[in-house]
């Protein structure tokens, strides 16, 4: 049985374990949300690795969420809680809603938040630049994915285009890219998913549509903050109503704290994106 162990916090390595072959690997900067130690035996493994998993058909699956025959589970072992993907039963299961792929990850994140971890999964696209990552915040349909594809077409890298795990306990806000869950039903023949290293957030933009041209403009502080706050609420808010009052208030406070930190990263700025624009030129001051 192949098993991928996915810890979720900086400080200890990510362990990739193929139990059949017994080959470990790890990626620094990701570890357990609970603060527990991940198996020290593999801590000296390569700090970066690209993981390709062979699907039952012989095709390689690109994204964690694309493993249709694997189940996302939250387990407890001697080191704490880990999230695993395990090979399922033979046969093709019915399509699984995207939300169910996210559920195990979200509950682990929220559990950590309620224990005091300064992390939060937010909705946005992350464009890689020399100083870190530029986080685009905006409502669904505003053009984050389109802007991401344009950035890639111009030679840029997009580590994440959906869910980004933010860590804000230090001087910088750190972004941990996570898979694009909405692609879980796509055919991903011949592709592989690289576990990206974490990036410091170098800038935050409220994304809007440019009517005539593409440009960066100063945004009203209130509108800028609400764009950020909406991104911070997107994944956590469905779980808020399920919590007892005390935990609900702690989670809402964490959402607000995350939004406040993001709003401090850069001056209130809106990116008015346009299909005829030149993103490299528009964002030249951030490259």
Assess whether pLDDT exceeds 50 at residue 215: yes
- State mean pLDDT over 231-247: 84
8 Å CB contact between 76 and 84 = no
Angle at 185 between CA 182 and CA 189, to 5 degrees: 115
Average pLDDT for 124-136: 95
**For residue 161, what pLDDT band results from cuts at 50, 70 and 90?**
confident
User: What CA–CA distances, in Å, run from 66 to 52, 179, 245?
Assistant: 12, 9, 36
Q: Name, of 31-35, 47-51, 221-225, 232-236, the range with top average pLDDT.
A: 221-225
Count of other CB atoms within 10 angstroms of residue 282: 18
Residue 264, pLDDT > 50, answer yes
**pLDDT score of 266 more than 80:** yes
Task: Report angle CA 118, 123, 143 to the nearest 5 degrees.
Answer: 155
Among 5-19, 103-117, 140-154, name the one with the lowest average pLDDT.
5-19
How many domains does the chain divide into? 1
Q: For 50, phi and psi rounded to 5 degrees?
A: -105, 130
Label residue 218 by pLDDT band (50, 70, 90).
very high
The answer, yes or no, to whether residue 82 has pLDDT greater than 60, is no
Q: pLDDT tens digit string along 34-54?
A: 222 222 222 223 333 222 223
Strand partners, 3: 17, 86
How large a percentage of the chain has pLDDT more than 70? 56
On whether the CB atoms of residues 72 and 101 are closer than 8 A, the answer is yes
Question: In this predicted structure, which of 54-63, 172-181, 225-234 has the lowest mean pLDDT?
Answer: 54-63
Q: What is the DSSP letter of 221?
A: H
The Cα-based distances of 271 to 36, 119, 144, 174 in angstroms read: 40, 25, 11, 21
What DSSP assignment string belongs to 66-121?
G-TTEEEEEEEETTEEEEEEEE--SS-PPP--HHHHHHHHHHHHHHHHHTT--EEE
**pLDDT value of position 221:** 95
Q: How far apart are CA 238 and CA 167, in angstroms?
A: 21
Q: Is 19 exposed, middle or buried (0-12, 13-18, 19+ CB in 10 A)?
A: exposed
Per DSSP, the three-state class of 266 is coil
Greater pLDDT, 128 or 51:
128
The three-point CA angle 286-126-192 to 5° equals 125
pLDDT band at 61 (very low <50, low <70, confident <90, very high): very low
- The Cβ-side half-sphere exposure at 149, using a 13 Å CA radius, reads 5
The pLDDT score that the predictor gives to residue 236 is: 85
Answer yes or no: are the C-beta atoms of 162 and 155 closer than 8 Å.
no
Domain that holds residue 34: 2-286
Mean pLDDT along residues 94-109: 57
pLDDT, averaged across the chain = 67
pLDDT, mean of residues 154-177: 88
Instruction: Find out whether 273 and 214 touch, Cβ atoms under 8 Å.
Output: yes
- Percent pLDDT > 90 in the chain is 34
pTM: 0.66
Residue of higher predicted confidence among 172 and 103: 172
Q: If pLDDT is split at 50, 70 and 90, which confidence band does 196 have?
A: low
Q: Is the pLDDT of residue 180 over 90?
A: no
pLDDT at 262 over 90: yes
Closest by CA to 16, choosing from 24, 52, 45, is 24
Separation in Å, CA 151 to CA 74, 146, 160, 231: 35, 9, 12, 21
Higher-confidence residue of 112 and 144: namely 144
């Amino acid at each position: 049985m192949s098993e991928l162990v996915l810890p979720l916090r900086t400080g200890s390595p990510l362990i990739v374990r193929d139990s059949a072959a017994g080959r470990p690997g790890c990626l620094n900067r990701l570890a357990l949300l609970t603060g527990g130690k991940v198996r020290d035996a593999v801590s000296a493994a390569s700090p970066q690795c690209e993981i390709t998993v062979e699907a039952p058909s012989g095709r390689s699956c690109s994204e964690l969420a694309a493993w249709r025959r694997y189940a996302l589970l939250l387990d407890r072992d001697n080191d704490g809680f880990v999230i695993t993907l395990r090979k399922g039963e033979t046969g093709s299961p019915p399509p699984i809603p995207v939300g169910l792929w996210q559920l195990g990850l979200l509950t682990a994140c929220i559990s950590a938040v309620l224990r005091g971890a300064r992390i939060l999964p937010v909705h946005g696209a992350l464009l890689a630049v020399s100083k870190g990552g530029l986080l685009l915040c905006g409502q669904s349909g505003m053009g984050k994915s389109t802007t991401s594809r344009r950035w890639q077409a111009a030679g840029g890298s997009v580590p994440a285009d959906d869910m980004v795990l933010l860590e804000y306990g230090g001087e910088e806000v750190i972004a941990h890219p996570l898979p694009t869950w909405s692609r879980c039903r796509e055919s991903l023949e011949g592709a592989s998913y690289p576990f990206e290293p974490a990036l410091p957030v170098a800038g935050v933009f409220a994304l809007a549509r440019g009517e005539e041209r593409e440009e960066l403009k100063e945004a009203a502080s209130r509108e800028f903050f609400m764009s950020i706050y909406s991104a911070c609420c997107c994944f956590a808010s469905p779980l808020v109503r399920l919590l007892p009052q005390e935990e609900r208030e702690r989670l809402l406070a964490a959402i607000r704290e995350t939004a406040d930190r993001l709003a401090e990263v850069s001056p209130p700025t809106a990116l008015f994106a346009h299909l005829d624009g030149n993103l490299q030129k528009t964002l030249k001051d951030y490259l």
